[in-house]
Structure 1
Amino acid sequence: MKKYILSLAVASLFYTKSEACAWADPDYDYFNLFTQSIIKDKSYLPFLHSYSTRFYTDYKPNLIPDENIESWKKFFNNQLSYAETDFLVNKININDLNELKKGNPANPLLKKLGTGFYQKYAEGIDYLIEAKYLEPYMRINYVESPDSFYYSGNQNDKNATNLDYTKTISALTSLYNAAKNPEIKQRYGFQLVRFNHYTRNYDAALQAFKTYVEPIKLKGAPYIMALDQFAGAQRGLGMGSDANWNFFQVFKDSRSRKESAFVSMKLSDTASFNNILKRAGNNEEKNMAYFLLGYEDFTNPIPLMEKMYDINPDSEILKVMAARSINELERSYLPIYYYTSNDSNSTTAQKSASNTSSDQPKAEAAETPKKELSFWQKIVRFFRRLFGMDDKKTEDNKADQSDDELLDNPNRIPVYTKSNSYFYDEKSKDFLDDLEKFTDKTKEKSKDEYWQIADAYLKFLKKDYKASSEILEDIKTTNPEYLEEIKRMKVLNDIVSQPKIDAEYEDHLIKDYAEYFIKKEPKKDSTNTDYDYYGPVPSTADFLKDVLANRYFLQGEDGKSFLMNNKLSDLQYNPNSSLVKSVEEFYRKPNKTQFEQQIIAKNMDDVGNIDAFFNVIYGDRAMRMADFDKAKSYYQKSQSFVGIPRLNYEWNDNAQKITPRQYGATEYNGFRNISNLIFGHNVWESFGSADNESMEAEDYSQFPFIKNSMNKLELADALIQLKKIGNGNDDKASRANQLIGNLLYNTSILGYYREVFVMDVDNTNGGKYDFWSTDRKNPYQYYYKNFMDTSYIEPDNFDLAINYYQKALQLSNNKDQKARVLFQMASAEQGKYYQYEAKNPAKINYSDPKYSEKSDAHQKQLDDIKNQKYRTYFAMLKSQYADAEITKNLMGSCSYFGYFMKR
C-alpha cells in the first residue's frame, strides 16, 4: 500500500491562481444565487446558461419526463408507475419478456403483473420483444475518413448493417401489417424508418415514413421518434433545410429529445434560423424559432425576447431566456473573489484578471459624492484633530462612519466587475438596466410569479434592496421552488442592505439565519461517493460569508473580516503585523456575541498554543526591524510554540487522512533549530542547496554565546549581546556589527535564511518573497479572501543592515575585512534597487507598435538609475579595495561583481 504525503504549502500552489490551470471551471467562478432551474417546464433545463458545458447539466435527468415512457404508461392503462414502465421498456431483459409470453414470468415485476398482463397487452409486449432484439444493432455504421484525426474506437461494435437487410425489412413489414393497435402499428413504422436510416438507405427511410408512419394520424411519441429518424435520413441526402425543419418540429413537440434535436439541427448561422422562421406557420413556431436564435451565444437576446414577448408574454421559453440573461449578469456582479491590482485601486473578478478599471461602468467608476457631515461628526473630528489623532480616511475612522457613509462605500460588495463575457457585446455593462426594464413590464403582463422574482433579483443586483424586498413581499405563490428562491432573496436583501454589522445584528443573524452560517455535519452512514473534481459549488452561504467579511473590513474590524474567510493558521502565509494585531484583539475580546463565538472564533483552533503563535509573529517582526529587545520579550512568551501549522495529506487505497505535521527533534519548526550560519555569508547564491554549501560561517570565537544551533529566544539574546559589544570602538565591535548586518541581510528577501522571520518552514520560492509594487500598507480593498494569493508582509528595510555594516566598516582596520563588509553592503543596496524596480514597471501595451523600442528605453532608464543610485558600495570596492584578496575571491564567485569590476 503506497502512501503519499503533501504539505499544505505545496497543495496551495495548485490552488493559487487556478484560473490559469487547465482544470478551472468557469461555472465555479461566481455565486449562482438566482436558481435558473426554477422554470416550470423542465424539458428546457439543458438550455439554461453554462460556460463549462455546451448544455446545462446541473439537474437530475429524471426531472425531464420521457414522452415515450409516458405513452407506454398510458398504453398499459396506468397499471404501472412511471418508474415501472421505464424498467419494463428500457431495462428488463428480452428473455424475461419471452418467459412472460410463455406464461412463466420469473422477473419480480412481471410476476406481480401476472400472466394475464400479456394476454391483455399482447401486441405491446410482442413489440417490446422485437424492439429489444433490434436495439443492440440500432446505430449507424461508422465510416472513417482517410483524413480522420480522431481514433474511432472499437470497430467491432454492432450496428444496423450486421442484420440481414431483406429479412429484417420483411419481418418488420409483416409485423406492421399484423398489428391492430394504431400506436403499435406506428411503432413498427418507426423501426422501419430507423433501420433504413441506420443502414444508410436514406431514400427508403423517407419512403417508409410516408408509407408506414404518416398515414396513421397520431402525433404522439412514436411519431416524434420516427420524425427524428426521418430528418436524419434527409440530412444524409443533403436536404439540410428540410432536415432542420423536421428536427425543429421534434425540438418543439418533444420534451426528452430537445437537446439531441437541437444538436441535429446544426444551426451554425443566422441564415439557418431565418429559413426556419420563414417556414413557421403559427405563433408557437415563431416563438420557438426566436428562442433558438436568442439561445446562440453570438446574439444579444433582448431584441428577440421583445419579439417573444409580443407573441406570448407567458411563454415558458421566454423565462428560459431571462434565466440565462440573469445568469450572465451574475458572473459580473457576483464573482467568487474580488481583488485589486497592486498598482491601482481597480477591481476585477478572478476570471478576468487582465481587465482594468477603465472597464468599469460609469455609474460604478464615478466617485461617490461627499455628504455633508452631521454636527456630531464635526465635533468628533474636531477633537480627534485637537488631540493629534490621525484623520486619514484610508487608515482610521472606519468605526466612526455613519450608516450613509457605509452604504455609499464603493467597495461594498456586490460590485460590478467586467467578466470575460461570451454572450454579450461591449455594452454588456448596460445590460442590467435593459433587462430590468424588460422584466418590469413582463411581470405586469404575465400571470407567472417568475417575472416578479426575476425583477426583484435584478433590483438586488442594482443595490435597490428596498424595492427588491417590496416586490418579494407582494408575491403570492404556492410553487415550492419559487418559495425557496423568495426566501433566499429576502435573506440576501436583509443582510446586504444592513449598514453596519454590530452585536445586535449578529444576534439576529445567529437567531434567524443560522442555517446559512452553521454547516451541518455529514451523516456518518452516508453512502454518497460522488466526487466533484472542482470542489464544492459556491453557495448562498459562501456569498453571505463574503458579504460579512467585506462589511467587517469596511468597518475596520480586520480581524473578524480575516477569520470569516480564513483560519488563524493562514496568518503564517502573510503575517502582516497590523492584521495580526487586529486578529489578536478579536481573540482577546471579552463577551463575544454568540455569532462571534460560533461562526468566527471557531477558525482559531488550529495553531496549538494561540498566545505563542501570536508572540512568534510579533517577535519575528521586531527582529526584522532590528528591535532585538522587543523580540526577546515576545519570544520569552513563545516557548510553548508547537511549530508552524502545516498539514500532512496521506493517500492510500481506501481513503485520505489529514494530520498535523509533526516536526523532528532537529528540524526547524519556526522557533527552534536555527544554525549559526545565519550569521555567516554566502559562498554562492543557491537557495536549493544545503546551508553548509551555500553559506560559510564567520569567526565566532570572540562570541561564545553564538551556539551552533539556537531557538529564537537564544538568537534574540545573542543579538542583544552583539549590539552591546558593537557599541565599542575596537575590532571586536566591528565584528559584532558585521554579524548583526549579516543576520539582517540573510533573513531578508534576498538572504538564504529568508524564511526565518516570516513564519515559513524553508526558503523555497513563493509569494512571500516577491518585492512589493505598491506603497499601500494593505493590498486588500474588499476583504481577506484568498489571503495566500497576495503578498502582505511589510517590506524589508535594507537600510537597517547597511547601518550596521557602516559601523563595522568604520571600526575595522583590516582591508580584507572592509572589502567583505562593503560587498555585503552592496548586496543590501541591491535589495533597495529591486524594491524601486518593482514599483516602477514598464506600463507599455503589448499591442503598441513601438513596444520593443519603448521597452528597451525603459530598461535603459532603469540601468542608468541603478548605476547612479544603487551601486555606491560596488563603486567603493572598485576604487578603494580592488587589490584586496577578498575582492579578488568575490570576483570569482559573483559573476555580476566580476563584470562590474572589469567595466
Structure 2
Amino acid sequence: MKKYILSFAVLALFYSKSEACAWSDPDYEYFNLFTQSIIKDKSYLPFLHSYSERFYTNFKPSQIPDENIDSWKKFFNNQLTYAETDYLVNKMNINDLNALKKGNPTNQLLIKVGTGFYQKYHEGIDYLIEAKYLEPYMKINYVESADSFYYRENGTDKNATNLDYDKTISALTSLYNAARNPEIKQRYGYQLVRFNHYTRNYDAAVQAFKTYILPIKSKGAPYIMALDQLAGAQRGLGMGSDANWNFFQVFKDSKSRKESAFISMKLSDTASFNNILKRSGTNDEKNMAYFLLGYEDFNNPIPIMEKMFEIDPDSEILKVIAVRSINELERNYLPIYYYSNDDNSTAQVSNSTKTSDQTKTETAEVKKEELSFWQKIIRFFKNLFGGSKDKKSDESKTDQSDDELLDNPNRIPVFTKNNYWYDEKTKDFLDDLEKFTDKTKEKSKDEYWQIADAYLKFLKKDYKASTEVLEDIKTTNPEYLEEIKRMKVLNDIVSQPKIDAEYEDHLMKDYAEYFADKPEVKKDSTETEGYDYYGEVPSTKDFLKDVLANRYFLQGEDGKSFLMNNKLSDLQYNPNSSLVKSVEDFYRKPNKTQFEEQIIAKNINNVGNIEAFFAVIYGDRAMRQADFEKAKSYYTKAQSFSGIPRSEWNYEAKKTTALQYPGTAYNGFNNISDLVFGHNVWESYQSAPEESMEKEDYSPFPFIKPNMNKLQLADALVQLKKIGVGKDEKSASANQLIGNVLYNTSVLGYYRELFVMDIDNTNGGKYDFWITDKQNPYQYYYKNFLNRTYIEPDNFDLAINYYKKALDASNNKEQKARVLFQMASAEQGKYYQYEAKNPSKVDYSDPKYSEKSDAYQNQLDQIKNQKYRTYFAMLKTQYANTETAKNMMGSCSYFSYFMK
C-alpha cells in the first residue's frame, strides 16, 4: 500500500493530472480490472505501471524469487524449505550459528536439523558466520560535499571503513584459498569485491573480480552478486559504459536485484540505451535492451513491442510492456469518477477541485453497433410514428428501447482525457494495441495474450467478441482463471441493455460475491504496519456499483442511481427536489427485489424519522418558492424531525457519533429566531444574530413568536400573506416582513441556512452563486455527490415582488426607503447570479490578458449599472433625505459610494 505521501506529492506533478490542493494517489483513481500482477515471472513486478511511485509496490516482497536463497537451498540439498533457508541466511543471529558449530544449538530450527547439519555443511555454515560478522559494516562511507542534496547529521552508523582493511583482506583471502567447494569459494570472492568497493578501493575491487570470481566457471547467484559490486566499482572509476553493461547483465540474469540494477544503470539518455543495444550479442540481450527502452520511453511502446515480438513472441518481458500499456488505457477508460462540465458535452476525471486547464475535456467516443438492414427499417418506423421525445425528460429516459440504451454515448466505460502527455494519437492507441495483441496471441503459446485481447475488446465495448475469446481460452493458471472469471462477469453486466427486476435477480443469484461486503481481512504479520492515507484500492465491486449506478441514471431511475454510491443522509447537502422525489419513490417502492433490498436499500441510513426527513426537504423547497401553504402542509408531517443527521467526533468513545443538538440550538427544524423577519444592520455572517440583525415592529402581528419551529414560521407567513392582500400600512408591513424572510434566507441573507438543510450560515458550496441551466448537472451518475453543488438557485424576484407590494401600500417615506434598500439588496443578488453565469473567458496566457480582463470588468460594471441598480437609483433620487437613507450610508459602504 502507498504510504509515502511526500514522494507522491512531487511525482504527481509530473505523472498525473491529479487534484489541486489535495492529497490523492493516481494509482487509486482507476479500477485496475485487468490485474497487472498476473504476469508469470514475478521478478518483473516492480516494473508494472505506477504513477505514485517510481516502481510498482502493490505486492508482497516474498512474491519475487531470490536466486541467492534458491542457491543456498540447493547447497543444503533441499533439506530446508525456502522460508527456512531465507531465515537461516538472512535473519538468524550469528550467535545461533556459532552455537551450532560448537555442538550445542539453541535455535529451534537448528535443533530440528541436528548437530550433524554442521558436519555435513561446515563450509557453508562457516561462510555464513563470516558473512554475518561483515554484514553490519557492508555500507559505503558517505562523504558530505558542498553539492550534496541531503543534509545528514553526524551518526554512528557502521560502514566498511570501520574495519581494518589489511586484516579483513587477509582473512577473506585465506578463507577463499582454504575453501574447497567452488560455490563457497566464489562467495568469499564476492566478499572481497564488495569490501573493496565499499572502502572505495575501486581498482582493487575490479582486480578482485578478475582474480577470485572469473576463475571459477560459474555464473550462479554468487557471480551475479559479485558482478553487481564490480559494476559499482566501475562507476566509481568513471567507467560508465562498462558499469552500465554489467548492471545490465545483473538486471537480465538476477530475479531479486532487477530493481536495484535498473536504478544503478542510470540510463538517462538515448545514447546509453544504444550503447547497450550495440553490445548485445544474443537475442535475449537484445530483447532485454528493447524492454528497458520501452519501459523508459513509454509515450508509444508499440514500435518497441514490434521489435521484441520479432525476437521472441513468447517473451515474458513483452507481456510486462503490454500490461503497462493496458494499464495506461484503463486509466483513460475506467476512472473512479467521471466528471461532466455544465455544457453536458464532454467528460473528464476528477475527485475534487480542478484547475481551469484541467477542466478541458475530451468528447467521449463510442463505437456504435452496426445495425442490420431490418433493424434500420424498424428504427425508421419507430421514429416515424413514435413522435418526438425530449431525451432529457425522465419520462423519455424510462421509455427507451434496448437499442437507444446501448447507443447512449455515456454508458460506462467512457474514454476520457486523463493524463498530461495526452495527444490525438492516444485515441488510436486502443486500436493499435488490439491489433498487436491479436497478432501476438496467434504466435505465442501463453494464454495471457488471449486474455489481454478479450480485455481490450471489453474496453471497446465489443462485449460479444470479448466473451467469445474468453470462452476459447484453455488454461490451468489460477491467476489467469480468476481474471477470465471476472471479465466474463464484466461483459455480462456491462452489455446488458437495461437493468430490470429480472436481471437484478440474476445478479444476486450468480454474482452475489461481487456485490456483498467482504469480511475484514487480517494483515499478514510479516507486512509492515502503517496507516493507508488513501483508503482501500478501488475494486471490481466498486466498478460494478458505478456501472449499475450509471445504468440506472441513464434509465431515469435517479433514486436507485443515487443510492448505489451515496447514503440517504447525503441528500441534506444538495437537496435538489427532483432527485429527492426519486429517492423517496424508491424508498416507498413495495416488493423490492432482493438486489434492491440488500445492495441499494442498505444505504437508506439513519436519518431519524424518514418521513419527517423528506417532509423537511420538501417544505424547505416550498418556502424557497414562497409557497407557504404547501410548506406548512409538509412541515405538519415533519414535527417528529430529530435534526439534520450530522456526525461529530466523540472524544470519550474515540469514534464518530451522531451530533446531539442542545435544546436551544437550531437543528434544521426547531429554534428559529424572530430576527428572521428583521433586516441586517451590517453584513457579517459570523457575528451574533443580535449584532448583525435588527427587528422590525412585530406588534401588529402577535403570531410572530420570539422562537419558532418551521411549522410555526410557515403558519406566520401564511397569515402575513392574507393580511398583505390589503392596501393599508399593516398590509405594507406584512408584505415587507415576507420579503425580509425571503431575502434573509437567500444566499445573501444572515439566515441562509434555514431552507437548504444546513445547521449554520458558515460559508460553503451551498452559498456559491454557481448556477446551472440544467435541472441536473450530472451526466453519468451521482458518485462524489458531496463534491458538487446544485441546489436550485434563489428566485430574488419573489422577495422583490413582496417588497413592491409593501412599497405600493405604504405612505411612510421612512418605511419606503427601508423597503427600497431591501429591494436593491435583492436586485444585487440577481446581478451576482448573472455574473456567475457569465465568467471571464480570457485565457491567463493571453499576452493581452490585463487589457481584456479590464474590458470584461468594464462591461460587467456597465451591465450592473444599467440593469441591476434600479432600486438604488430610486432610493437616491426620491428618498435621499430620509433618516433611513442617511443611516444606511453609514453602515453600507457601497450604498454610500453609490450616493456620492
Common fold by TM > 0.5: yes
Closer, same or farther in 2 for the Cα pair 1:65/1:201, shift >3 Å? same
Q: Does the aligned pair in 2 maintain the 1:567–1:606 contact within 8 Å? A: no
Alignment match, 2:669: 671
Alignment match, 1:658: 656
Closer, same or farther in 2 for the Cα pair 1:486/1:366, shift >3 Å? closer
Q: Which moved more, 1:135-144 or 1:372-381?
A: 372-381
Alignment match, 1:481: 479
Q: How many residues align?
A: 877
Q: Does the aligned pair in 2 maintain the 1:343–1:774 contact within 8 Å? A: no
Closer, same or farther in 2 for the Cα pair 1:893/1:778, shift >3 Å? same
Work out the CA distance in 2 between the residues paired with 1:166 and 1:221: 27
Q: Which moved more, 1:520-529 or 1:187-196?
A: 520-529
Amino acid at match of 1:404: D
Task: Choose from 877, 880, 884 the match for 1:879.
Answer: 877
Work out the CA distance in 1 between the residues paired with 2:785 and 2:774: 16
Work out the CA distance in 1 between the residues paired with 2:358 and 2:716: 49
Task: Choose from 351, 360, 363 the match for 2:362.
Answer: 360
Alignment match, 2:282: 282
Is residue 2:79 matched to residue 1:76? no
Task: Choose from 840, 865, 868 the match for 2:838.
Answer: 840
1:851-882 deviations in Å (ceiling 9; x for gaps): 22221111111111110000000000010011
Alignment match, 1:408: 407
Task: Give the alignment of 1:571-610 within 5 angstroms.
Answer: 571-610=571-610
Corresponding residue SS for 1:823: helix
Work out the CA distance in 2 between the residues paired with 1:52 and 1:371: 48
Alignment match, 1:763: 761
**TM-score normalized by structure 2?**
0.95
Report how far residue 531 of structure 1 moved: 3.1
Q: Which moved more, 1:539-548 or 1:518-527?
A: 518-527
1:770-817 deviations in Å (ceiling 9; x for gaps): 223431111101111111111121111100000000011111111111
Work out the CA distance in 1 between the residues paired with 2:121 and 2:719: 101
Report how far residue 175 of structure 1 moved: 0.4
Q: Does the aligned pair in 2 maintain the 1:48–1:320 contact within 8 Å? A: yes
Report how far residue 363 of structure 1 moved: 4.2
Closer, same or farther in 2 for the Cα pair 1:891/1:359, shift >3 Å? closer
Q: Which moved more, 1:564-573 or 1:150-159?
A: 150-159
Work out the CA distance in 1 between the residues paired with 2:489 and 2:753: 45
Task: Choose from 767, 773, 776 the match for 1:775.
Answer: 773
Closer, same or farther in 2 for the Cα pair 1:366/1:857, shift >3 Å? farther
Task: Give the alignment of 1:266-281 within 5 angstroms.
Answer: 266-281=266-281
Work out the CA distance in 1 between the residues paired with 2:431 and 2:651: 51
Alignment match, 2:252: 252
Task: Choose from 431, 434, 447 the match for 2:432.
Answer: 434
Is residue 2:535 matched to residue 1:535? yes
Alignment match, 1:860: 858
Closer, same or farther in 2 for the Cα pair 1:375/1:272, shift >3 Å? closer
Work out the CA distance in 1 between the residues paired with 2:160 and 2:22: 39
Report how far residue 543 of structure 1 moved: 0.5
Work out the CA distance in 2 between the residues paired with 1:321 and 1:345: 34
Q: Does the aligned pair in 2 maintain the 1:747–1:754 contact within 8 Å? A: yes
Alignment match, 1:830: 828
Q: Which moved more, 1:438-447 or 1:393-402?
A: 393-402
Amino acid at match of 1:767: G
Task: Give the alignment of 1:701-720 within 5 angstroms.
Answer: 701-720=699-718
Work out the CA distance in 2 between the residues paired with 1:356 and 1:607: 37
Corresponding residue SS for 1:396: helix
Alignment match, 1:325: 325
Report how far residue 195 of structure 1 moved: 0.2
Alignment match, 2:13: none
Q: Does the aligned pair in 2 maintain the 1:684–1:694 contact within 8 Å? A: yes
Amino acid at match of 1:73: K
Alignment match, 1:109: 109
Work out the CA distance in 1 between the residues paired with 2:338 and 2:153: 45
Q: Which moved more, 1:196-205 or 1:676-685?
A: 676-685
Q: Which moved more, 1:352-361 or 1:93-102?
A: 352-361
Alignment match, 1:141: 141
Report how far residue 371 of structure 1 moved: 6.6
Amino acid at match of 1:547: V
Work out the CA distance in 2 between the residues paired with 1:827 and 1:262: 67
Closer, same or farther in 2 for the Cα pair 1:890/1:372, shift >3 Å? farther
Report how far residue 764 of structure 1 moved: 1.0
Q: Which moved more, 1:360-369 or 1:699-708?
A: 360-369
Is residue 2:301 matched to residue 1:301? yes
Task: Give the alignment of 1:418-457 within 5 angstroms.
Answer: 418-421=417-420, 426-457=424-455
Task: Give the alignment of 1:626-775 within 5 angstroms.
Answer: 626-650=626-650, 656-775=654-773
Alignment match, 1:238: 238
Work out the CA distance in 1 between the residues paired with 2:357 and 2:411: 20
Report how far residue 71 of structure 1 moved: 0.5
Work out the CA distance in 2 between the residues paired with 1:361 and 1:315: 37
Report how far residue 397 of structure 1 moved: 0.8
Q: Does the aligned pair in 2 maintain the 1:418–1:429 contact within 8 Å? A: no
Closer, same or farther in 2 for the Cα pair 1:368/1:696, shift >3 Å? farther
Q: Which moved more, 1:197-206 or 1:526-535?
A: 526-535
Amino acid at match of 2:718: I
Work out the CA distance in 2 between the residues paired with 1:439 and 1:461: 14
Task: Choose from 470, 488, 496 the match for 1:472.
Answer: 470
Q: Structure 1: any 5+ residue segments left out of the alignment?
A: 1-16
Closer, same or farther in 2 for the Cα pair 1:399/1:372, shift >3 Å? farther
Alignment match, 1:14: none
Report how far residue 396 of structure 1 moved: 3.0
Q: Which moved more, 1:762-771 or 1:203-212?
A: 762-771
Q: Does the aligned pair in 2 maintain the 1:194–1:205 contact within 8 Å? A: yes
Work out the CA distance in 1 between the residues paired with 2:234 and 2:644: 69
Work out the CA distance in 2 between the residues paired with 1:465 and 1:525: 37
Work out the CA distance in 2 between the residues paired with 1:366 and 1:406: 12
Amino acid at match of 1:446: S
Amino acid at match of 1:842: S
Q: Does the aligned pair in 2 maintain the 1:773–1:840 contact within 8 Å? A: no
1:349-393 deviations in Å (ceiling 9; x for gaps): 1177656897536845999999766488459845xx8xxxx7454
Closer, same or farther in 2 for the Cα pair 1:343/1:819, shift >3 Å? farther
Closer, same or farther in 2 for the Cα pair 1:537/1:719, shift >3 Å? same
Work out the CA distance in 2 between the residues paired with 1:371 and 1:634: 50
Report how far residue 345 of structure 1 moved: 2.6
Q: Structure 2: any 5+ residue segments left out of the alignment?
A: 1-16
Higher RCO (C-alpha 8 Å, min separation 6): 1
Closer, same or farther in 2 for the Cα pair 1:268/1:322, shift >3 Å? same
1:724-760 deviations in Å (ceiling 9; x for gaps): 1111121111111000000000000111111100001
**TM-score normalized by structure 1?**
0.94
Work out the CA distance in 1 between the residues paired with 2:355 and 2:322: 28
Amino acid at match of 1:435: L
Corresponding residue SS for 1:20: coil
Report how far residue 342 of structure 1 moved: 2.5
Alignment match, 1:156: 156
Q: Does the aligned pair in 2 maintain the 1:209–1:230 contact within 8 Å? A: yes
Q: Does the aligned pair in 2 maintain the 1:31–1:538 contact within 8 Å? A: yes
Is residue 2:565 matched to residue 1:565? yes
Closer, same or farther in 2 for the Cα pair 1:574/1:519, shift >3 Å? same
Amino acid at match of 2:410: N
Closer, same or farther in 2 for the Cα pair 1:403/1:312, shift >3 Å? same
Work out the CA distance in 2 between the residues paired with 1:852 and 1:364: 41
